Amino acid sequence: MSTGLSRFTSLLLGALLTIILLCAEYALLLDNDRVREQEKLQHWGELGTELLATRLQEMLDRTDLLAQSLIRQRHSTGTPPNLGELAPTVLKEESRFGGIGIVRRIEPNQRAEFEAAIANSIRMLKDRHLVTSPQQPMYYPVESYLPDDGNALPQGMDLGSLDNARRKMDQARNRNQPMLMFNTLVPGAPPRLDIMANLNDDGHLLLVNLRSDLLLQSSQSNPDQPNPLQHVRLVAWNQEAPDQPSLDSHPLQALPSGNPLLTTRRSIGGYDLLFGAYPLEDNQPALSAQGYGILATSALVMLLLLILQQRQISNNQGLRTLLRRQHHQLELNNRTLREQINDRASSEQALAESEARQRAILQASSDAIILINRSGLITHVNPAAAKLIGQSAESIEHLPVGSLLTELYSLSPSISFESIAAAREGRTFEAHLLRSDNSQMPVELSLSRVEAPDDSFYVAVCRDISLRKEQEAALIRLKNSLAEQVEVQSRQLAALLEASPMAMAYIVDRHLRRVNGAFLDLFEREEDEVIGQTTLPYFESQEQWERTGRALYNLLNDGKVVQSEVKLRTGSGKLIWCRMFGRAVNPSVPKLGTIWLYQDFSAQREMEDALRQAKTLAEENSRAKTEFLANMSHELRTPMHAILGFTEIGEARARQLQDDKLEQYFQRIHSSGNRLLQLLNDLLDLAKMEVGKMDYHFGHFDLAHCLREACDEMTPLASNHNIKLYLYCTPEKLTADIDPFRLGQVIRNLLSNAIKFSPAGEVIRITARLQLNSQQQEEILICVEDSGPGIPVDEVETIFDKFIQSSSTKTGAGGTGLGLAICREILQAHHGIIFAENLSPRGAAFTAVFPRRHDASAAGEGSNHVTSTFTR
């Protein structure tokens, strides 16, 4: 009894001591691991801060080199900075530069010139929209920016309107050193990190955008190098915006509320940056695997000590008996084991050969293949699967397959992996694969069970269907968008039909599908007898219906807007004239139908018929009047020549008789007769023009000679009014294809008018020169300038009409109103024009312009009622 109590007491005391020692050892190991982890995170934080500061300074130095390169380029070429040659070497995919641009310092007096150069206005960002910038003392707009993608700064955007950007850009110009610049374009979004560098010219600055994500990644030259930012979260603030971080290695996570592991202040690019390092996860301290190993080893040692203690107390005799039995059993087991080893060796050889073949198949397969045991643990993955997941094959093996494929994971511990696999086995289904970057990739998964001689396992084959999913999503969005557009267009069409005052109809295959109220009112019909019916009853006959369809629908199918005027029949049988306008909804799909508008212009058609009849009657009256004038003018010229002839005889006889009074009477009769003869000649010329009887004799003549003859003829008349005529001709011998008689008639008419309206003692200038028109063809310009009262502004065009005189003739100059009309007709026969304009401060100028050369066929095209001959 005492022996049993001693054994129990010793066992109880040993167990209690073991528990106490193990608890003390656990506390010491846990505290040691906590201190070591804190020191390691602080070390990573220091390395991360130094890495980020070094990269920022490197970007500033590289920006300074880029600025110096642009300065040398401008000095060598003499042209403004050009980013096109610099961008391919700077804006690479792996580069930390996100964009490069030129910002120009613009003063208010330079704004208009800059906006004209970029064909846009200087704008500022307001409420996430670009608006025209108000008047500012200084602007810093973007002159150019590459690349031109969704993150590009718009051309003309004033960066000086953003926060303290204007002050930073002024510092960059004054200090001639690159400056960092943090700007928030969208409220709530991470700030934009830029570098500004001076280009040492008339205000150009180099703008370089930095990609914050690449600044916080591993080294691009050595991606396998450990990145301290994978272990800690690094946050940087600048002194001008302490409320929001300027840089954050994990911007999508909320800012930690606890104290940082360490803080460091650095002065970089004109900013005092405060760096703070935080642990990535705020987990409770846990014992490391090494600590658990030490603790387990200690527990095992203490347990062994207790067992040894109990065994020492046991009966040595029982131990020897047990040893004999075990020795005998061991011999039997060894014999059996040797037999099993021989069988196992042969099986393992065959299995090794089979596994070699399977591994070769797995390595060569382009599909991602994952081998899973019955417990749901991954036993093997091929290279395609490791690449798809983004991890090495060694790091994936022995993981639960549910950690990668959520569809093979169950929250309930009572549901085994084999139950989940049995429901999915043998059929293809879609799943989501969790990749190393925590993104989920849609895959197509097939799961199969493989039975082995000694065990069974599962084979999962994954195929990436991201592209297919994106295409399906795009198709769904397109379908929804098209449905919305169809609904909106249907509502707009219905509203347009009902709101339009014009008759409108939607016609498919020449059947009415929809009409508005104006259509029903125009054709005097009810809606139930219109919808779905053919358009044949609206035409006069079936032949007209078919002819109209053949003429219009071919044009509609070509995508043109057609217009036609036809007679249509209303519901009461009345025929009305309608103007139809039609257009196909989609010319490439004729089955979608057409839209038609109908306009009743019966009253207008009746008015046009009446006007047409009146025009015909007026033309007949004008023709009769013209023929009468031509005949009368011809008949009146014969007696006028007789009167003028006897007047000249009377003047000569009066001079012989030295009867001054009688000579004065004959001179007045002769002067009045000449005026009447001139009037008759003008009326006869006008009548000939109107009936197409005017003759022209074109030839290659000296225009200067023609002008001098006309001036010499009009000089006596000008001398009577104490007026001088000056002729300027360039060149002196100016030849052209003209009718010298008719063109001389134009010059005499113009000089006669100028002499009438010019005061005594003034000068009349006649200018003729050779010039080139817009088609680089030679033309003649003749200008007659007087010093008269000028022409009223509203009469500059009307004075060239027949029987129209300027109101200035009320001064007593007189006239019939035919001279300028005849001048215009003659110039049109020469393929030219004549126009008048006022001079400053007074006077008028009449200018005639016509081509220098034209052939015989063109000579008759100047006026459609003039006959002519052409001589060389």
The answer, yes or no, to whether residue 7 has pLDDT greater than 70, is: no
Percent helix, strand and coil across the chain, each rounded to 5? 50, 25, 30
Residue range 761-771: average pLDDT? 92
- pLDDT tens, 442-464? 888 888 888 876 778 888 888 88
Element (H, E) at 446: strand 440-451
Q: Is 117 exposed, middle or buried, given 0-12, 13-18 or 19+ CB atoms closer than 10 A?
A: exposed
State the pLDDT confidence band at 726, using cuts at 50, 70 and 90.
very high
**Could you say which architecture CATH assigns to the domain 500-600?**
2-Layer Sandwich (3.30)
State the pLDDT confidence band at 152, using cuts at 50, 70 and 90.
confident
830 Cβ contact partners less than 8 Å away, ≥ 6 residues apart: 738, 739, 743, 850, 851, 862
Lowest mean pLDDT among 385-389, 543-547, 643-647: 643-647
pLDDT for 785: 93
State the pLDDT confidence band at 364, using cuts at 50, 70 and 90.
confident
- State phi, psi for 181 to the nearest 5 degrees: -145, 120
Taking each continuous run of H as one helix and of E as one strand, the counts in the chain are: 19, 29
**Could you say which architecture CATH assigns to the domain 365-464?**
2-Layer Sandwich (3.30)
For residue 314, what is the DSSP state? Answer: S
The answer, yes or no, to whether residue 281 has pLDDT greater than 80, is: no
pLDDT for 317: 60
**Could you say which architecture CATH assigns to the domain 52-279?**
2-Layer Sandwich (3.30)
The answer, yes or no, to whether residue 3 has pLDDT greater than 50, is: no
State the pLDDT confidence band at 860, using cuts at 50, 70 and 90.
very low
- pLDDT tens, 368-408? 888 888 888 888 888 888 888 888 878 888 888 888 888 88
Per-residue CA distances from 662 to 181, 655, 657, 667, 759 (Å): 108, 9, 9, 9, 31
- Give the position of tokens 């991201």: 466
145 Cβ contact partners less than 8 Å away, ≥ 6 residues apart: 99, 100, 101, 102, 152, 153, 155, 207
**204-210 and 192-198 as β-strands: parallel, antiparallel, unpaired?**
antiparallel
Domain borders along the chain are: 52-279, 365-464, 500-600, 607-671, 694-871
| Rounded-to-integer distance, Cα 612 and Cα 605, Å | 10
Strand order of the β-sheet with 763-772 is 724-730, 763-772, 778-785, 844-851, 833-838
Which stretch, 488-502, 685-699, 763-777, has highest mean pLDDT? 763-777
State the pLDDT confidence band at 861, using cuts at 50, 70 and 90.
very low
- Give the position of tokens 């990668």: 404
Please answer whether residues 697 and 706 qualify as being in contact, where contact means their C-beta atoms are separated by less than 8 angstroms: no
Do 365-464 and 52-279 have the same topology in CATH? yes
| Rounded-to-integer distance, Cα 735 and Cα 704, Å | 7
**247-248 and 232-238 as β-strands: parallel, antiparallel, unpaired?**
antiparallel
> What average pLDDT is seen over the chain?
80
- pLDDT tens, 677-708? 777 776 666 666 665 667 788 899 999 999 99
- pLDDT tens, 264-278? 888 887 777 888 888
- The token pair at 849 is 């312009």
* Top CATH class, 694-871: alpha beta
pLDDT for 284: 59
Lowest mean pLDDT among 417-421, 506-510, 515-519: 417-421
| Rounded-to-integer distance, Cα 721 and Cα 467, Å | 97
The answer, yes or no, to whether residue 805 has pLDDT greater than 70, is: no
pLDDT for 809: 52
Percent of the chain with pLDDT over 90: 6
